[in-house]
Amino acid sequence: MPTGWDHAAALERLDGDELLLVELISVFFEEYPKLAARLTQSLSLKDFAGLREAAHSLKGSLGYLGAVEGEALALALEHASLSGDSARAGELVAQLMAYIEAFRQLMVSASGAPNDATPLQ
Amino acid sequence: MLPPCSEEPSPPLPLAPRDNRAALGRVLVAEDDPLYRRALQHFLAGHGYDVQLVSDGLQALENALSPDAPRLLVLDWMMPGLPGPEVCRRLRATPRDHYQYVLLLTAKHTTADIVEGLEAGADDYLTKPFNVHEFFARIHVGERMIKLHDTLLAAQQALRSQATHDPLTGIWNRGALFDLLRAELERAQRKPTSLSLFLVDLDHFKRVNDDFGHLAGDDILREVTERLSAAVRAYDVVGRYGGEEFIVAASGLKADRPYQFAERLRLAVCASPVRTQQAEVTITISIGAVTTNPGGECSVEKLIQSADAALYQAKANGRNRVQAVHI
């Protein structure tokens, strides 16, 4: 579970632009289903290149949003993909996806909006 | 200027690069990550930049190499098509009129990565996740570099112009004339067509300078230049050969036309007096005209020699006239 979200750091990077941060978070979750699918499919096909690309992309986005733990998980997944460690990669995919769901919940409760997250397959 | 003929020759001296002002204020952003795309678009558009946004390295390269391409390029490292450094390499390998500043954006941050990025031709490097202030600070560095480059280019062009143009009249100077004449002669021999060289000398110019002073003399030289330039076609050559001597070169004149061409020059100068600060002076010129045979062997030196002999004849026969020969 994400214990924290370095909201302050994310905001500082954006020169305090809260609206932009909200917009970027929204873009992240718009794009996420595609990335999630790519993670699970690459994993089952043992497509380590595809897995690494998806992990790299998530790392970048989560890092930018201040989701530090997620960023670290994605980085670890990148490394696991590079070394072809299927078992470790599988663990990390599960952890990462759980983290992102928790992050989504955090965003939802922070904004006070109703939970409209669709369950992932 | 007389209306140009249908034939359009290529200029022998290189043209200056086109004015690039339209490309300033434009930025090319190559980034495939949707978050960073949104952020960069937001930042740059918010600061008044005209943003070209692509998500693929090949598209980025194509945009970067187009005429009037943006001078500022913000390239992600990892993206589809070509990675950022490869876009850089190919860009730097292509001769460009205007320098393009490349800011490489990437999550890669080891020394080896930084070295690779810079050695590939990037001017600067910003690691993700980046701070917007730092981003703009580096963009501003880029703009200073571009401005510096443009200043250098303008100075270079001014020097080149100074080196080839006569400071008083603004037309080609003697050195440039020789290069141009050589090129014209080569072209005429290649086509093949004729080349006519007109050696134009002001009559009694020393007397004019003595009577009215050198400032008046300068005014006269400028006015004669104007009149000669107005009497030739757009692609004929007009240059200052000596203190009171000009050379005009024209190609494709057949039979009697060199003589008629020279007569037009003569009349353009003497038809009306030249107004100087001191007085109105009637100026006449003598012209030695020589025309080559299409495809015939010749040298610039030989042409000038022949024109000089013809000029001498014109002077001997009373000045204010044309002596035309074929060689």
Concatenated DSSP letters of B116-148 = HHHHTT-SEEEESS--HHHHHHHHHHHHHHHHH
Give the 3-state secondary structure of B270-283: HCCCEECCCCEECC
| pLDDT score for A106 | 85
The answer to whether the Cα torsion of B225, B229, B232, B235 is positive or negative is: positive
Whether residues A31 and B42 touch (CB distance < 8 A) is answered with no
Which of A64, A65, A75, A78 should be substituted to probe chain B, the one whose Cβ sees the most B Cβ atoms within 10 Å? A64
Q: Is the pLDDT of residue A34 over 50?
A: yes
Q: What angle do CA A54, A56, A57 make, to 5 degrees?
A: 65
Distance CA A36, CA A50 (A): 12
Q: Is the pLDDT of residue A74 over 90?
A: yes
Q: How far is CA B11 from the centre of its chain?
A: 9
ipTM rounded to 2 decimals: 0.84
Q: Which H/E stretch holds residue B234? A: none
Nearest to B132 among A15, A28, A65 (CB): A15
Q: The whole model's pTM is what?
A: 0.72
Joined together, the tokens standing for residue B133 give 């202030």
Distance CA B113, CA B12 (A): 46
Joined together, the tokens standing for residue B113 give 């990565």
Query: B52 has which bridge partners?
Result: B28
Joined together, the tokens standing for residue B38 give 């949104």
Joined together, the tokens standing for residue B154 give 């303008």
Distances (CA, A) of B218 to B168, B200, B209, B223: 7, 16, 9, 9
Nearest to B33 among A13, A23, A60 (CB): A60
Strands B195-202 and B285-291: antiparallel
The C-alpha torsion from B79 through B81 and B87 to B89, rounded to 10°, is 110
Q: How many residues does chain A have?
A: 121
Whether residues A63 and B130 touch (CB distance < 8 A) is answered with no
Query: B202 has which bridge partners?
Result: B285
Judged by a CB distance cut-off of 8 A, whether residue B133 touches chain A is: yes
Nearest to B131 among A13, A27, A61 (CB): A13
Residue type, B158: A
Coil vs helix vs strand at B291? strand
Distance CA B53, CA B55 (A): 7
Q: Where are the beta strands (DSSP E) in chain A?
A: none
Whether residues B35 and A27 touch (CB distance < 8 A) is answered with yes
Which chain B residue has its CA at the smallest distance from A68's CA? B129
Judged by a CB distance cut-off of 8 A, whether residue B46 touches chain A is: no
Distance CA A38, CA A104 (A): 19
Give the phi and the psi of residue B30 in degrees, each rounded to 5.
-115, 110
Is residue B143 annotated as part of the catalytic site, yes or no? no
Mean pLDDT per block of 10 residues along chain B (327 residues) reads 48 48 81 95 95 97 95 95 97 95 91 95 95 96 95 94 95 96 95 96 95 93 97 96 97 94 97 90 96 89 97 97 95
| pLDDT score for B251 | 95
Judged by a CB distance cut-off of 8 A, whether residue B109 touches chain A is: no
Coil vs helix vs strand at B152? helix
Joined together, the tokens standing for residue B161 give 């112009």
Residue bearing the bigger pLDDT, B15 or A16? A16
Whether residues A56 and B129 touch (CB distance < 8 A) is answered with no
| pLDDT score for B14 | 45
Where does the pLDDT of residue A109 fall: very low under 50, low under 70, confident under 90, or very high at 90 and above? confident
Mean pLDDT score of chain A: 88
| pLDDT score for B295 | 77
Coil vs helix vs strand at A76? helix
Distance CA B294, CA B165 (A): 30
